[in-house]
Structure 1
Amino acid sequence: MEAWEMADRKSFWAWCLESEEPTDADRAALAAKLSAEYGTQITAKPVPSVDDADLRAPRIPIPDSVADWCSTSTYDRARYAYGAHFTERVRAFNLDFPNPPDVVAHPRNETEVEATLDWCDANGYIAVPYGGGSSVVWGLAPPQDRGPTVIISLDQLDQVLEIDDVSRAARIQAGVFGPHLEDQLRPSGHTLRHFPQSFRFSTLGGWIATRSGGHYATNHTHIDEFVESARMITPSGWWESRRLPGSGAGPSPDRMVIGSEGIYGIITEAWMRIQKRPTFRATAGITFPSWEAGYEAVRHLVQAKLWPANLRILDPAEASRAAGMDGQNALVIVSFESAELTQRHNIAQAAEIARNCGGHLPDDEIHIDDGTGTPTGRGGAVGAWRNAFIGVGNGVETSLGLINDTFETAITWDQWPEFDAVVREKVGAVLAEVFGKHHSLSCRFTHVYTDGPAPYYTWSGMGTQGGELEQWQSVKDAANEALVSAGGTSTHHHAVGRMHRPNAYDRQRPELFAEAIRAAKKRLDPNGILNPGVLIDP
């Protein structure tokens, strides 16, 4: 058995391991509940088996030079056919694989990565770099007309190679998954401290390629701030930046790698800024009588530059759904952490600012840990929200007609109130048109900056079983149009992929910038084999 053929494999259709997939009984129970709640008959199809997938035969002969690390198994080709978006999981659940990859490569070192890419380039095969497959923007599945495709999975390059304790940096292979990365840093007392919601099923290379936004809401949030230098193999050769704390020597070579979404090359490793594991913490959940009062408090808090690790607001609907509140009040969560210093002073200052803005915060709801390990964010509404945030579902609702999704953006504070009103109006109208009264729309801030918030909208609707994809598309089109036309970004941290092109990202970025990207791709990937259709036209 090869290393990638583990007994407890990741599900080919759900956001979990195979051992954690819902059972037919789980799905039948939910179908009955939804049928009663929405007054419609819902039938639960059985959980699919990958052995029943009828995949097109591989179109690529595998030469001996790469055969040791290449697979054409049905599981591999189905597992790597899609990312993790709702629409992709629905298709995989229904065994709908019109364009499965022909080969999945699992190179075990940089030499084998290079050999795999050279093989693809010499034969004109499409090559798609693959980390954990957590993309929710159709970033991994090339269109059917692009020809034979090889997925190049980095899952075997998963080691922390070197730790510089003096500079607090580590050289890390790109294929390491979040939990395994932290496990390797923990013995030396370090952490990368980058926790996207996809942490369990995403990799360092994927975070860099998609400009991942971690869990922490202010100061160091995006993966950009953690990258000290990056190493990438392109069809034209190796690209590696000098390891430096900062440089004013022209445009940054690392910034071309970060967010490149696999169109230039394959990231194999990076030097990352790490930190000591925090031991001092302080957390508070502050209620506000309105959404408006709450987000004004958040603005004052972030502009005070206290730099809390967590600073987010849940609107009343989101606070009710995810934190068990009454649906009338907004919830602001603020927390601080440090490896060296008590956070008593910081939380006291944040509490004073929040109270001056109309927030309700009893003294006994400020939780402080001065290094003893006392839990600070586990109880009450804050703890309920934490559990909901971390506990991503296992897909039990897939193909039952229930549609859940999100879209996220960023906007400056001066535009924010009108922007929020426009987005709610336009998207809400389409939700009502598509789902009638059976829909919801809520918002929280995932990140906040001194000049603006990053709002994250969550929506759901009880659709028509079998028509989920078309109904989802109607809402997504409205969301894309609302975000861009109202002045926001098409995506704050989920990347562009194929989902946000061409009717969102293409409208946002300057055309001359797109031409510069095309020129860079032509130089680095002359035959255009790497992940075509992402960021720019092939």
Structure 2
Amino acid sequence: MSDTTTTKAPSAGCTPRRSWWGWGTENRALSGAECTALGRLLPGAATAPLPVPDVSALTLPKVRVAPPTALDPLMSAAPRDRASHTYGKAYRDVVRALRGDLAAAPDQVARPRTEQDVIDILEWAASADVAVVPFGGGSSVVGGVEYRAGRHRGVVSLDLSAMDQVLEIDRTSRAARIQAGVLGPALEARLRPHGLTLRHFPQSFEFSTLGGWLATRAGGHYATLHTRIDDLVESLRVVTPVGVNQSLRVPGSGAGPSPDRLFLGSEGTLGVITEAWMRLQERPPHKASATVVFDDMRAAMDAVRAVAQSGLHPANCRLLDPGEAALAGITHQGESVLVLGVESAHARVEERLAELLTLARDHGGTPTVGESGGADTAADTWRSAFLRMPYLRDGLARMSVISETFETACTWDRAPELYASVRRRLAEVLKEVTGTAGTINCRFTHVYPDGPAPYFTVIAPGRRGAEVAMWDEIKSAAMNVLHDLDATVTHHHAVGRDHRPGYDRQRPEPFALALRATKRALDPAGVLNPGVLLDPAPLQDLGDTAPAPPSARHK
């Protein structure tokens, strides 16, 4: 039986205003005094924070294109709209916004209400040589929503936030048809009365959308089993400039290459995902957690590998190295910490947690609290630090302290070498770029039977006015190290524009040829998120597909 009533997610009342320049909401950002106090803890930080510019005082580029009359109600060129849709939320984005550098601002922000609106916008954009950059929650940390191509007559940021409804719930098959613009909390609020959950909780959950997760092949909070959004997709509906692609909704199919796989991870450069049928799960009432301390990081890695290969599938399996554990406030004794969590919708989980703790003990680990499913204050401390970290990153940016995170994945046989090599080689780079070895921490965010996903955090003092250039050097060096170690350039942050150099080297050339051909076939005018995954096609290469005059119905 299906609930086919179109329903908007319940309102949470008065919603705090989103920050136009940084992470999250304005009311949760660090104050100037808090930034100053944070800076005092870090040698080399500035003595006073960069001020947050007033949107009304910003200098924005002149609007170059106006929409046709029929599309005008969907468009906005208001300064705050343009400013908040210029960048994502990478460190270099935050610093440039604080500097008032908004040269890449879109000319218009479009908020389609229906799929037909999306079709109409793409038709006009292709005919008028206007680039269209799909925009979900704007939480990209890899330059995924910033226009850099430079050759189009104008740029429209396509904000899908008005398409935020759960259209249908199939309780029997345990699935739902969901519009792409829904934010994580609103989606879960709509599913909760049915006892269901998508069970996909990335760190950006509060400020990212289903469409964004799909377009970037996002990884959720859960560390094992169904870690990626890919695993939760039944079918996709995608608007391309040449037509609507609707895949067959079935639990599985061997009918040729998967059409969904073509668009998962395409980052808005092949089409605009408007809705999807997603696999759901029962909400789990049974939960337990524990933390395990290790004196030796190598032993902790061996323990995590045993857990990943055990078939016990913990919901959480985060390994924090000594620096990361100290940064999270769990321990300052030079120990590594494993955070374990188990959950189930059907049975008690204490026995499974006990089995996991036995594996950890066998590798030299010492469980702390929460062993019997009770309160685990260390795990709670980690969760709080995990959610607060992006706001602290913004505070560091205001103090001209460079803060970068990057994640990768490798097989278990190479994990110890990767961990040691990244830290050693990046420390050398930091010394050259910043004059200090900085701080380089690591945690394993996801673990698979054949390998982990290490996530590195780099913190070092920057020079005021040179933060972006210094960040770029560090970022480039990190990608070079990962390439040399045969590790992926990204595990779940996506490619965007910042990871393009690493992605180009990682991607097999025959696949690159196929991807370029697909881009030309689906987006012949070359207007969809140009520069993501592939270089924008020069005008002379578009041939017969070069932009034509606007159609009569848009005049």
Q: TM-score, normalised by structure 2?
A: 0.91
- Paired residues of 1:317 and 1:327 also in contact (CA < 8 A): no
Sequence identity of aligned pairs in percent?
Answer: 48
Mapping 1:388-399, distance limit 5 Å = 388-394=385-391, 395-399=394-398
Amino acid aligned to 2:389: V
Question: Does residue 146 of the first structure (1) align with residue 154 of the second (2)?
Answer: no
Deviation digits for residues 323-365 of structure 1 (CA, Å, limit 9, x no counterpart): 3302421111111101111112211211111111111126x53
Aligned match of 1:14: 22
Aligned match of 2:164: 158
Q: Cα offset for 1:144?
A: 5.4
Distance 1:11 1:41, change over 3 A: closer
Distance 1:312 1:396, change over 3 A: closer
Mapping 1:492-503, distance limit 5 Å = 492-502=491-501
Which of 518, 522, 530 is equivalent to 1:532? Answer: 530
User: Secondary structure in 2 aligned to 1:122?
Assistant: helix
Question: Does residue 69 of the first structure (1) align with residue 74 of the second (2)?
Answer: yes
Which of 320, 323, 348 is equivalent to 1:317? Answer: 323
Aligned match of 2:134: 129
Mapping 1:459-470, distance limit 5 Å = 459-470=458-469
- Paired residues of 1:42 and 1:465 also in contact (CA < 8 A): no
- Paired residues of 1:427 and 1:478 also in contact (CA < 8 A): yes
- Paired residues of 2:288 and 2:350 also in contact (CA < 8 A): yes
Q: Distance in 2 between matches of 1:527 and 1:327?
A: 58
User: Secondary structure in 2 aligned to 1:391?
Assistant: helix
Q: Cα offset for 1:289?
A: 1.1
Question: Does residue 423 of the first structure (1) align with residue 422 of the second (2)?
Answer: yes
Aligned match of 2:201: 195
- Paired residues of 1:23 and 1:47 also in contact (CA < 8 A): no
CA RMSD after TM alignment: 1.7
User: Secondary structure in 2 aligned to 1:163?
Assistant: strand
Distance 1:247 1:68, change over 3 A: same
Mapping 1:448-527, distance limit 5 Å = 448-502=447-501, 504-527=502-525
Aligned match of 1:97: 102
Distance 1:18 1:360, change over 3 A: closer
Q: Distance in 1 between matches of 2:49 and 2:318?
A: 37
Q: Distance in 1 between matches of 2:416 and 2:524?
A: 46
Amino acid aligned to 2:380: G
Distance 1:12 1:40, change over 3 A: closer
Mapping 1:342-353, distance limit 5 Å = 342-353=348-359
User: Secondary structure in 2 aligned to 1:119?
Assistant: helix
Amino acid aligned to 2:524: P
Distance 1:14 1:68, change over 3 A: same
- Paired residues of 2:427 and 2:437 also in contact (CA < 8 A): no
- Paired residues of 1:498 and 1:533 also in contact (CA < 8 A): yes
- Paired residues of 1:309 and 1:336 also in contact (CA < 8 A): yes
Q: Cα offset for 1:92?
A: 0.8
User: Secondary structure in 2 aligned to 1:335?
Assistant: strand
Amino acid aligned to 2:417: E
Aligned match of 2:313: 307
Which of 370, 375, 395 is equivalent to 1:365? Answer: 370
Q: Distance in 1 between matches of 2:44 and 2:191?
A: 52
Aligned match of 1:372: none
User: Secondary structure in 2 aligned to 1:65?
Assistant: helix
Amino acid aligned to 2:518: A
Q: Cα offset for 1:24?
A: 4.0
Aligned match of 2:285: 279
Distance 1:514 1:327, change over 3 A: farther
Mapping 1:103-252, distance limit 5 Å = 103-143=108-148, 145-147=150-152, 148-252=154-258
Distance 1:306 1:77, change over 3 A: same
Q: Distance in 2 between matches of 1:40 and 1:71?
A: 39
Q: Cα offset for 1:145?
A: 1.5
Q: Cα offset for 1:146?
A: 2.7
Q: Distance in 1 between matches of 2:420 and 2:33?
A: 42
Q: Cα offset for 1:518?
A: 0.7
Amino acid aligned to 2:385: A
Distance 1:19 1:325, change over 3 A: closer
- Paired residues of 2:329 and 2:382 also in contact (CA < 8 A): yes
Deviation digits for residues 9-47 of structure 1 (CA, Å, limit 9, x no counterpart): 31110112234444444445545x35xx53676233322
Q: Distance in 2 between matches of 1:164 and 1:305?
A: 30
Relative contact order, higher structure (CA 8 A, sep 6+) = 2
Deviation digits for residues 466-523 of structure 1 (CA, Å, limit 9, x no counterpart): 2111111121111000001111000000001111112x11111101101100111111
Deviation digits for residues 187-208 of structure 1 (CA, Å, limit 9, x no counterpart): 1111111000011110000000
- Paired residues of 2:160 and 2:180 also in contact (CA < 8 A): yes
Count of residues in Structure 1 that have an aligned counterpart in Structure 2: 521
Question: Does residue 254 of the first structure (1) align with residue 254 of the second (2)?
Answer: no
Q: Cα offset for 1:305?
A: 1.1
- Paired residues of 2:45 and 2:401 also in contact (CA < 8 A): no
User: Secondary structure in 1 aligned to 2:395?
Assistant: coil
Distance 1:41 1:85, change over 3 A: closer
Aligned match of 1:265: 271
Amino acid aligned to 1:58: V
- Paired residues of 2:442 and 2:454 also in contact (CA < 8 A): yes
Q: Cα offset for 1:114?
A: 1.1
Amino acid aligned to 1:332: L
Q: Distance in 1 between matches of 2:26 and 2:285?
A: 35
Distance 1:173 1:435, change over 3 A: same
Answer with 337-346 or 143-152: which moved more.
143-152
Q: Distance in 1 between matches of 2:119 and 2:422?
A: 45
Q: Cα offset for 1:245?
A: 0.6
Name structure 1 gaps, 5 residues minimum: 369-374
Q: TM-score, normalised by structure 1?
A: 0.94
- Paired residues of 1:82 and 1:133 also in contact (CA < 8 A): yes
Which of 327, 331, 334 is equivalent to 2:337? Answer: 331
Mapping 1:403-422, distance limit 5 Å = 403-422=402-421
Q: Distance in 1 between matches of 2:204 and 2:43?
A: 31
User: Secondary structure in 1 aligned to 2:69?
Assistant: coil
Amino acid aligned to 1:151: S
Deviation digits for residues 124-167 of structure 1 (CA, Å, limit 9, x no counterpart): 11011110011000111121513210111100011111111111
Distance 1:508 1:393, change over 3 A: closer
Q: Cα offset for 1:434?
A: 2.4
Q: Distance in 1 between matches of 2:325 and 2:117?
A: 49
- Paired residues of 2:409 and 2:452 also in contact (CA < 8 A): yes
Deviation digits for residues 162-187 of structure 1 (CA, Å, limit 9, x no counterpart): 11111110111000011111111111
Q: Distance in 2 between matches of 1:80 and 1:367?
A: 47
Q: Cα offset for 1:420?
A: 1.9
